[in-house]
Structures are given as structure tokens and as C-alpha cells.
A and B are shown apart, each in its own frame.
Chain A
Amino acid sequence: MTIAPVLAGGDPLLTGKIDFAVVLIVLLKTFVTFAVLMVAVLFMVWFERKVISDMQNRIGPNRAGPWGILQSLADGIKLFFKEDLLPEKADRRVFRLAPYLSAVPAFLSFAIVPIGGVVSIFGRETRLQLADPPVGILFLLAMSSVAVYGVMLAGWASGSKYPLLGSVRASAQMVSYEAALGITVATVVLLTGSLYTSDIVASQTGSIFNWNIVRLGGLPFLLFVVAATAELNRPPFDLVEAEQELVGGFHTEYSSIRFALFFLAEFMNTVTMSAIIVALFLGGSDGPTFGVGGVVGTWLLPLFWFVAKLFIFLFTYVWFRATLPRLRYDQLMDLGWKVLIPVSLAWLLVIAAITLERRYLVAAFPAMLVGAAMLYRSLALGKDAVRHEDLHA
């Protein structure tokens, strides 16, 4: 537990003198990241539709291109040329602003994903990662808290009741689950001792036993996946856009390219969150290199491992959607506040104790048992009181 790898966060490209070549490399990286993200979204939309169809015994998109792979491109072009409606009761400025508040954070948060290690481009050392800021993983939390505004203001500015209901649900849900998400991230940061995403990945290299999913005991990984799914508003936590009760939720009144921006943001966030899960818990681009050196060993194999792990989670999110029924609102809040937050807090304490000294684990377990017993007792008391009131009402 006291592995202390050499933590060297920050991009080596930006530590030296910043000349024209450095600026060019940064621009190139930005462009490539943007393009990769857009292609990933187009692919993800197609992938989701195809896998869902398979799971439901349908064929799915099969007209545009081989296996219908160009379907999402065709849909995107169609959305561009559709009429852009503005509801009469809408707050014009906020209505126009909201889609960008959703899409821009989605683009930005992918910047901190560590795709690979240090490589050299045109003789300069740089990371396969657009930005490696000192606040690292906290940047993701900041961006996801900005994204709440997009959903919330879209619903409010539409001047219509279903979007408003959807957006009030959304803001409550996203703020609640952000707490659990943050505490779980803190567990990872505690073990790594650094906020840099590149350091978090670097501390997991070597073998599968160094991956945080094993080192942290698996539980934070599960908590993070659940909280991230809720943060993404994906099924089974898609109460925000529950079509059976809210028409379409916060984006009911949106059409054309503004609707497309919300859609884009949702799928981009799915890709980003999956990549972050891989980086935080599954060792990022870590994997056997079979002793191959050169371009294949430093570029292609890590990239391959990263994409392979990413696929597992992209598929899992689609699988969730096909399998799990939507939660009721009170179940959602119960899960967030009464299960995820206490469990992640308790696990944070255990990890802190072990990081400090192994024998504190002996003390941490009785403390956890006592804490769990007290929590259970207080829940039972609350339920009794409610039942008591019910009888007398």
C-alpha cells in the first residue's frame, strides 16, 4: 500500500521554453482530440442503437453504409437542416445559451483523459493527453457541475411544464450524486497522493494487482460506476428525460441543431466517463507489451489496451439501458443519500487508515461496525416513527 512511484505530473512539453513548435503541437493535439471525440460520438450512437436492437431481437439501422454505420452521420446532417423552433413563452437568451452550457463542458472534460504515456512528436516529449492541469481530476468534477446548468436552464427557459419538471429532477439528481462521485474520487487521490490524472495512471502500472480496482478493494469502483451513471443521466437513472411521464424531459421544446447539441453532450459525456473510469480504476493504458519496443510498444499497444478497456464500459452502459428498469424518484434519492454517500465515506476512512498504517485497519473495522450499527438503528428509528405517525393519521 505504500508504493511511492515517481510522480511527475504536468506535461513535459510545457516545462521548457515555449516556441512556435510547441504551440503547433498543442494545436495539433487539440484538433486530434476534437476529431477523435466527434468520431467516437458518431460511433457510440450507432453502437448503442445496434446493440440495443440486437438485445431486443430487432435489426436496427441498416440502410446508410455497411451495417448502417453512417446512420448517425446522416441523422446529424438532417438535424442541421431542420427548422429551429423557439417556443413563444421561452426566455430567448437563456434558451439559446443552454445547449452550449451542456456541450462545452462535455468537450472540455475529455481534455484531461490520459490516453497514453509520454511519447515524442517531432522530437518533443509530450503526453498523449490534451491537458494535464495541476487540479487534474477535480477539473472533471468542476465541468460536471457546470453541465448541470445546461440541463437546468434548458428546462426552465422552455417556458413549459414538462421540461421544467425534468430539469428540477435533473438538478437534484446531479447535485446529489456529485457528492458520492467526489468522495470516491477522493479515495483514489488519497492512494495516489496526487491530483494529476497522469500520476493516477502512472501509479497503477506494472501488473493487474497495481490497478486501483484491486488496490482499493473493488468497492469504490462499483460506487463510482453507479454515481457516474446517475451523473450522466443514463438508464436506469434517466428520470430526467423519462419519456413515459415527461414527454422528453428538459429537451422537449428543442429542435434542430440545439437538440443535436444536447444529444452530442450526452454521448460525449458517456465516452468521457468511461475513459475516466478506465484511467482511475483500470490502469489506463497499462497492459502487457510482450517486450515489444519502438513505435508499437510505446504508441500502439498502450492505445490498444486503453481502447479495449474503454469498449467494456461503453458496452456496459448500453447493456444497463437494455436490462435495468428505471428507478422511482424516491428510490433514486434513497440510493444516493442513504447508501452511496455513507458507504463511500466509510470506505474513504478505511483507505485513509490503511494508507497511514496497516494496523489501523484493525481499529477501523470495529469503528466501521459500530458506525454501521448506529446508522442502521437510526434508519429503523426513522421508519418506526413514520409508521407510528401513519397509524395515528
Chain B
Amino acid sequence: MIAVLAAATKVDLAVFAVSAVIVMAGAFGVVFSRNPVHSALMLVMTLFGVAVLFVAQEAHFLAVVQVIVYAGAIVVLFLFVIMLLGVDQEENVAAERLRGQRPAAMALGGLMFFLVLLLAQATNWATGTPSARGAASGPGENVEKLGRSIFTTFLLPFEVTAVLLVIAVVGAVVLVRRSPSLPEEGDAEDEAAPEPRGQRRDEEVPA
């Protein structure tokens, strides 16, 4: 551990410490906020902290993708759903939904913490030292290396993920489409009614 500490400069260590505090504060905030919107915002804070850690590891591309995809799209969708469903009220945390939920959570949490400590002890303490391992590390352009390793070494997982995402999109479309043969429910009709009218109006407008 001391050898690793020596390899990291003071700047590395300071950046790591600051972003670790941000990440942890965000993570605690997600759990302890009573309002779901505040929780989502705290999650964004954690994601930003992780992005800073990526930059410290010279993984610039990963950092910016983290911000664009996770902070920019996924949490926005979370917020979108929270706002649309109107569940943005403070929740009563005292009520226990499942019996024995709390002791189980504590036991599992403690176990996880122990495992993380064990892993860290066996390999490395994270100190902000730039990593030398992995396909994308070392000098040179991030994007190029990432591209090369995705399209050579990890081609199959990459393609499988792409197929999985396409299936998810098609599945979502199939799920929300109402079947014409089924008898329609009242509110489903109300929601879907304006759309066909709008489309027909489109056709009538001269281009």
C-alpha cells in the first residue's frame, strides 16, 4: 500500500480525496433524502464525482460519456417518470414495507462492505494513481484505443449488447401498442384519440 501511495502525486491524491467526498456525499444523499427528486439530484452528484475520477485516470472519453449518458439521459428519464407519475412527495420512511427488511439490509450491507475491504486489501487501495492496466490505458488517444478494443477483442459482447438494446426498444414499442382486436378501455381511448387526428391533419396541410 505504501508503494502505491508513493506512485501517486499529491495532486492525484487531492483530486481523489475531493471526488471521493463528493461521490460518498451524493451516495448518502440518494439513500437519506426523503424526496425522490432530491435523491435523483444526489445521484447526479455521485455520477459527476465518478466522472472526475475517470478524468484523473486519463479516461477522458469515459468521463464525458458518463455525463452525457447517465447524468444527461438516464437520470433525466428518472426525473421525467417521477414528475409524470406525481410521486414527488416526501415519503414516510418509518413504515416498513416488508417484514424484516431493515435487519436484512443491514446484514447484507455489512457483508458487502466487508467484501469490498477484502478485495481492496487483496489488490489495491484506490489512491488516484493512474492505472497502467486495461486496453485503453497508456499514452495516446482514448477514443481510438477504445474503438479498436471494442471492434477487435470485445466484438462479440459489443454486438450482443447492441442486439439486446434493439430487442428492448422493439419490446417497449410492442408493449405500449394497443391491439386493435381487444375491446378498448375508456381512458386508453382518450389518451390515444388525438394522435390519429393529428396525423390526418398533417396530410391535409400542403407541403
Shortest beta-carbon contacts, A-B, top 9: A145-B72, A142-B67, A135-B64, A138-B64, A134-B60, A330-B198, A386-B196, A389-B180, A135-B60
Q: Check B60 against A168 for contact (C-beta < 8 Å).
A: no
B191 interfacial contact with A, CB 8 Å: no
**Smallest beta-carbon distance A147→chain B, Å:** 9
CB atoms of A388 and B88 under 8 A apart: no
Q: A135-B60, A138-B61, A142-B64 are in contact. Are A386 and B195 (CB under 8 A)?
A: yes
B84, A142: Cβ atoms closer than 8 Å: no
Q: Is B20 an interface residue (CB 8 A)?
A: no
* A-contact bits for B57-96, CB 8 A (1 contact / 0 none): 0001101110110011100110110011000100000000
Query: A191: shortest Cβ distance to chain B, in Å?
Result: 15
Q: Are B196 and A142 in contact (CB under 8 A)?
A: no
Cβ–Cβ contact B196 & A175, under 8 A = no
Chain A residues, Cβ within 8 Å of B200:
387
Residue of B nearest to A387 (CB): B196
Contacts A138-B61, A171-B80 given; indicate if A145 touches B71 (C-beta within 8 A).
Answer: yes
Docked complex Cα distance between A334 and B195 (Å) = 11
A149, B80: Cβ atoms under 8 Å?
no
List CB contacts (< 8 Å) of A147-172 with chain B.
148-149, 152-153, 156, 164, 167-168, 171-172
Size category of the binding interface on chain B: 35 or more
Give the complex CA separation of A144 and B141 in angstroms: 24
**B143 CB-CB contact with A under 8 Å:** yes
Question: Min CB distance, A109 to chain B, in Å?
Answer: 12
A94 to B64, CA, bound (A): 25
A175 touches B76 (CB 8 A): yes
Chain B residues, CB < 8 A from A172: 80
Residue from A133, A141, A156, A164 within 8 A of B60 (CB atoms): A133
Q: Does A383 contact B (CB under 8 A)?
A: yes
> Which segment, of B33-41, B101-109, B150-158, faces chain A?
B33-41
Q: How far is A133 from B88 in the complex, measured between Cα atoms in Å?
A: 38
- Which residues on B sit within 8 Å (CB–CB) of A148? 72, 76
Asked if residues A392 and B180 are in contact (CB atoms below 8 Å), the reply is: yes
Is residue A139 within 8 Å, beta carbon to beta carbon, of the partner chain?
yes
In the complex, which residues of chain A have a beta carbon less than 8 angstroms from the beta carbon of B65?
138
The reply to whether B180 and A178 contact each other, CB–CB distance below 8 Å, is no
The complex places the Cα of A259 from the Cα of B66 at a distance, in Å, of: 30
Q: When the two chains form their complex, are residues A385 and B68 in contact, meaning their CB atoms are under 8 A apart?
A: no
Smallest Cβ-Cβ distance to A143: which chain B residue: B67
Contact with A along B140-181 (1 / 0, CB 8 A): 011100000000000000000000000000000000000010
A175, B78: Cα distance in complex, Å:
13
A331 contacts which of B67, B73, B88, B202 (Cβ < 8 Å)?
Answer: B202
Q: Closest CB of chain B to A381's CB: distance in Å?
A: 12
Q: Does A3 contact B (CB under 8 A)?
A: no
Judged by a CB distance under 8 angstroms, whether B189 is at the interface is yes
A134 engages B142 (CB within 8 Å): yes
1/0 per position for B19-58, CB-CB distance to A under 8 A?
0000000000000000101100100100000000000000
Q: How far, in whole Å, are A149 and B83 apart by their CA atoms in the complex?
A: 13
B195 and A168 contacting across the interface, CB-CB below 8 Å: no
Least Cβ distance of A101 to chain B in Å? 10
Contact A91:B35 (CB < 8 A) given known A134-B141, A389-B180: yes
17 additional A-B pairs beyond A134-B61, A144-B72, A194-B141, beta carbons within 8 Å, are A94-B41, A134-B60, A134-B141, A135-B61, A142-B64, A145-B67, A149-B41, A149-B76, A152-B80, A156-B37, A156-B88, A175-B73, A334-B202, A383-B199, A386-B196, A389-B180, A392-B180
